[in-house]
Amino acid sequence: MNLKHALLLVVSAGLCLGVSCTITGGDDGNGGGIGGDTEATLDEATAFITITQTAGGSTADVTATIEDDAGRTVVLTDNQSVRVNDVELSGPDASDEYTATTEAASQYEIAAVEPTIGVQYTTIDAPTDFEITSPAETGEVSLSGFTLTWSQANASLQVRIRLTQTLGGVNVVETLPLMSDTGTRDITDDDLADFGQGTNLVITVTKINIVDGIDGFEDGELRCEVSATRSASPRF
């Protein structure tokens, strides 16, 4: 620690005498930081929570970030917690994320436990299980374009389509723009420009339900995503 940094900490510590405060600092000049996290009441924090599951799967994975207004990760105290269907999130991990695994369900209840305001609840419905109906599993698709279809269309949901393939040891990924869940999408030759023959094309359709705001937090977003996957054989 250099002299300037040491003096800054001494002055800061003096200003904190007799009051409760948190001292955070920047890089120490040797690649290490001094405090990147903070503590805050949940109603002063922003949470982004995503629940993901595979269609027909028995479990769901939960990831969350909780930040203060300055973008620092909020570390929950012993009396604070966030639960999804009664499973408490743990963390933050090295990626500043909170995580949990719970049983797959048709609806999820998020409980934000904050001693200063009590327990606040938010619910979100999971997209209904569905399947890709065309192309058939390992069926042929044209690299000039084909029509992708899936079941249980719901216009209130968003859909993300991801195409992946491994060619010559290189992973090729194309993520198409979000669209309303109409149950169908024409995959064009432009979408398929980077793909070729020889290995399967993996098609992943993800349905997404989004709730703006999470009760108990100052702000946030809650998502539930359900994905179905199909492999197809590309042909010119």
Q: What pLDDT shows up at residue 18?
A: 38
Q: Are 61 and 99 in contact (CB under 8 A)?
A: yes
Cross-strand bridge partners of residue 215: none
| Residues 171, 142 share a domain | yes
Rounded CA-CA distance 191/187 in Å is: 6
Query: Which tokens belong to 145?
Result: 């374009």
Q: Are 50 and 27 in contact (CB under 8 A)?
A: no
| Residues 230, 139 share a domain | yes
Is the pLDDT at 3 greater than 60? The verdict is: no
| DSSP class per residue in 163-213 | EEEEETTEEEEEEPPPEE--SEEEEETTTTTT--SSSPEEEEEEEEEEEE-
pLDDT band at 101 (very low <50, low <70, confident <90, very high): very high
Q: What's 119's domain CATH number?
A: 2.60.40
What is the rounded average pLDDT for all residues in the chain? 88
- Omega into 127 within 30° of 0, i.e. cis? no
**Mean pLDDT on 8-32:** 37
Indicate left, alpha or beta for 152 from its phi (over 0: left) and psi (-120 to 50: alpha): left
174 within some domain: yes
| Residues 139, 120 share a domain | no
pTM of the model: 0.83
218 within some domain: no
| Residues 86, 46 share a domain | yes
Is the pLDDT at 94 greater than 50? The verdict is: yes
Q: What pLDDT shows up at residue 14?
A: 41
Last residue of a domain, one of 125, 157, 192: 125
How does pLDDT run across 139-176, given as a tens digit for each residue? Answer: 999 999 999 999 999 999 999 999 999 998 999 999 99
Q: What pLDDT shows up at residue 17?
A: 39
117 within some domain: yes
| Residues 189, 163 share a domain | yes
Domain that holds residue 9: 3-34
| Residues 231, 151 share a domain | yes
| Residues 29, 119 share a domain | no
How many residues are given for the chain?
A: 236
Is the pLDDT at 221 greater than 90? The verdict is: yes
Q: How many domains does the chain have?
A: 3
| Residues 206, 113 share a domain | no
| Residues 206, 143 share a domain | yes
Q: What pLDDT shows up at residue 36?
A: 72
The CA angle 48-52-55, to the nearest 5 degrees, is 155
116 within some domain: yes
Cβ partners under 8 Å of residue 119, min gap 6? 111, 112, 113, 216
| Residues 231, 136 share a domain | yes
| Residues 206, 178 share a domain | yes
Q: What pLDDT shows up at residue 7?
A: 39
> How much of the chain exceeds pLDDT 90, in percent?
84
Choose between 101 and 4: higher pLDDT.
Answer: 101
| Residues 44, 68 share a domain | yes
How does pLDDT run across 103-148, given as a tens digit for each residue? Answer: 999 999 999 999 999 999 999 999 999 999 999 999 999 999 999 9
Identify each DSSP E strand in the chain by its residue range: 25-27, 33-34, 37-38, 46-54, 59-67, 73-74, 81-84, 87-88, 98-103, 107-114, 118-125, 132-134, 140-142, 145-150, 158-167, 170-175, 179-180, 184-188, 201-212, 219-235
Rounded CA-CA distance 233/183 in Å is: 21
